[in-house]
A and B are shown apart, each in its own frame.
Chain A
Amino acid sequence: DAMVIQNPRYQVTQFGKPVTLSCSQTLNHNVMYWYQQKSSQAPKLLFHYYDKDFNNEADTPDNFQSRRPNTSFCFLDIRSPGLGDAAMYLCATSSRRVGNQPQHFGDGTRLSIL
């Protein structure tokens, strides 16, 4: 089945220690998104790619970076995680940047900071 896969499902890191989360997709969608979701809150968009075109949200901290080496893969790098970065990180894809297509989500990576 075509899907969005995130690894790892759970990640524990130390305060200030860099961490990388990964996302792969077999849907061949050209748009990929990274969201941060905290308990009982709406997903918060961090950035998205339209093909290789990177788009950062204005309020995304500089601590968060992303890479998309090819259509299938996308990475979220957190350079110096703080306690406030503990959250669920969701990767999503859609087939079009502008339009009425639903997003397809992975199961997320739960990030804990010690």
Chain B
Amino acid sequence: EDQVTQSPEALRLQEGESSSLNCSYTVSGLRGLFWYRQDPGKGPEFLFTLYSAGEEKEKERLKATLTKKESFLHITAPKPEDSATYLCAVHPGDTSGTYKYIFGTGTRLKVLA
């Protein structure tokens, strides 16, 4: 069964304290892995797409990496405004034409000033 698991569920960091969020996946092939940021009461905001193992993407203090079994979202020197829930989703490589994006339950990040 296709599955996405994110850890930790919640993370509290001091401002400037770098850390990583994990997204491990079990899918039949992989067409793409997506990271989103979701603020309270809002919809997910797209951050990155990763397609193949070894790929890396960066945006400001965020860097996403991908292996064959997991992805990491590294946050360097976070600021309070980085506080949000970070969602990971995968698009399986099933050739039946599946449209499904499988989501993890997210990591709730709180950065303290």
Contact = CB atoms under 8 A, between A and B. Distances in A.
Interface residues of A, number: 27
B31 A99 contact: yes
Interface of A: 4, 6, 31, 40-43, 45, 48, 50, 55, 88, 90, 92, 97-108, 110
27 contacts: A6-B43, A40-B105, A40-B108, A42-B103, A42-B104, A42-B106, A43-B44, A43-B87, A43-B103, A88-B41, A90-B43, A90-B44, A98-B97, A98-B98, A100-B31, A100-B51, A101-B32, A102-B46, A103-B46, A105-B36, A105-B44, A105-B45, A106-B43, A107-B42, A107-B43, A108-B42, A110-B41
Nearest to A42: B103
Which of A4, A98, A104, A106 has its CB near the most chain B CB atoms (within 10 A)? Answer: A98
Interface string B31-62: 11010100001111110010100000000000
Given A103-B46, A104-B46, A108-B41, 8 more contacts: A43-B87, A43-B103, A45-B101, A98-B97, A98-B98, A99-B91, A103-B34, A107-B41
Chain B, interface size: which category?
20 to 34
B100 A102 contact: no
